[in-house]
Amino acid sequence: MTIQIPDDLARGLEGIAAAQHKSVEQLAVERLRTLLDSGLTSPQKLLQTLKALPHPSLAAMDDLDAAIAGARLPVRNEGQFD
């Protein structure tokens, strides 16, 4: 079976698979099998899947913090039309 997925999702899967030293196919099959084999409800499956994701690296968190800081707008006491 072939499943087409968006490029950004494919890149995300590649990153997760590389971090776990697996192929994208191995990762996808394992995650799908986990979802299908468990008797959990959908919210429980989602939570279980999220908990199984690897934690981001410190460098990735630093990049995120820098991006957030760079996008902040200065605080203004005046209104837009004052």
- Locate 64 and state its tokens: 């995120």
* Chain segment 6-15, per-residue pLDDT in tens: 888 888 888 8
HSE (side-chain half, CA atoms, 13 Å) at 81 = 0
Continuous segment of H or E residues that includes residue 31: helix 24-37
pLDDT at 47: 84
How is residue 27 written in tokens? 């990762």
pLDDT per residue as tens digits for the range 9-65: 888 888 888 988 998 888 888 888 877 776 667 787 778 888 888 888 889 889 989
**Distance between first and last Cα of the chain:** 61
Number of neighbouring beta carbons within 10 Å of residue 53:
11
